[in-house]
Amino acid sequence: MEFSAGQIAGLLEGEVEGDDNAVVTGLSKIEEGEPKTLTFLANMKYEEHIYSTNATIAIVNKTFEPNKELPKTLTLVKVDDAYSCFAKLLKAYDQMRQKQPKIEKNAFISDSAKVGDDVYIGANAYIGEDVVIGNNVKIYPNTFIGDNVKVGDGTVIHPNASVYHDCIVGKNCLIHAGAVIGADGFGFAPDENGEFQKVPQIGNVILEDNVDIGANSTIDRATLGSTILKRGVKIDNLVQVAHNVEIGENSAMAAQVGIAGSTKIGKNVMAGGQAGISGHIKIADRTKIVAQSGIPSSVKKPDTTLMGSPGIPIDDFKRSYIGFRRLPMIVKKINELDNK
């Protein structure tokens, strides 16, 4: 990557303050800026670093006015929103780094599979029977795509991910390394001797468009029907989504969230790390679940923030916690009164 300040300003509809021809070849954090790198200042908590950074170009808000002398080697590109503009550049940079269309040696593609245009398939990837792969898809090495899977245009599947048979992956999805889409749901029934017998899991998983799945996360196939992650859902690393779960549009689950079977989660729901959600319940739209909370029953009221285990409204939790912290003092006073 090599861009001048003028090119960056043109791309972001910004204004150059300094050397229009200053060139960068990489990116850096503002506190770790090095020559020939591009950085940004959006959060003013980091303002002090802009006066000492060695970066060559910094993206800043148009409202930024330095209160000290800036480094003579630093050129500013002033934009309306420094954070969103830097994110735009990161996206462009990431796209430039992605693999170019080709099918590498040792990739196995079934004769019955249909592969679209401008596709990259890495070495040792396995593409099963009757698979349909759209245009501009990237499938990295050692990936497994089972029989009858459909992969939509623009989707990226990183190394060592597995998409089991009959699953459907929409357009512009991102599946990170080690993720497993469509493993069996945890279905067992005890027989007359108390021994668990496996219940066949014959459904599938459907990821709608623009769904992201983090590294080593698992989305289990349905017993019957489909486990469904709707458009725009974002799943972090190490998340478990059980059989027949449905997650509504634009919901996000942080690392180590666990969702038990057949739960229906609404739109724009957010769950913090290590939250646990019981099975066969419903979570209303725009619910927020604080990290490490446990949700054992349905949440019927939208726009609720829950904390604790079992999860209760966050304001109630805070009041309860104050009481909990005072328990040792209260017990001590009770004992003193009892002794008197």
Catalytic residue numbers read 243
HEC sequence for the chain: CCEEHHHHHHHHCCEEECCCCCEECEECCHHHCCCCEEEEECCHHHHHHHCCCCCCEEEEECCCCCCCCCCCCCEEEEECCHHHHHHHHHHHHHHHHCCCCEECCCCEECCCCEECCCCEECCCCEECCCCEECCCCEECCCCEECCCCEECCCCEECCCCEECCCCEECCCCEECCCCEEEECCCCEEECCCCCEEECCCCCEEEECCCCEECCCCEEECCCCCEEEECCCCEECCCCEECCCCEECCCCEECCCCEECCCCEECCCCEECCCCEECCCCEECCCCEECCCCEECCCECCCCCEEECCCCEEHHHHHHHHHHHHCHHHHHHHHHHHHHC
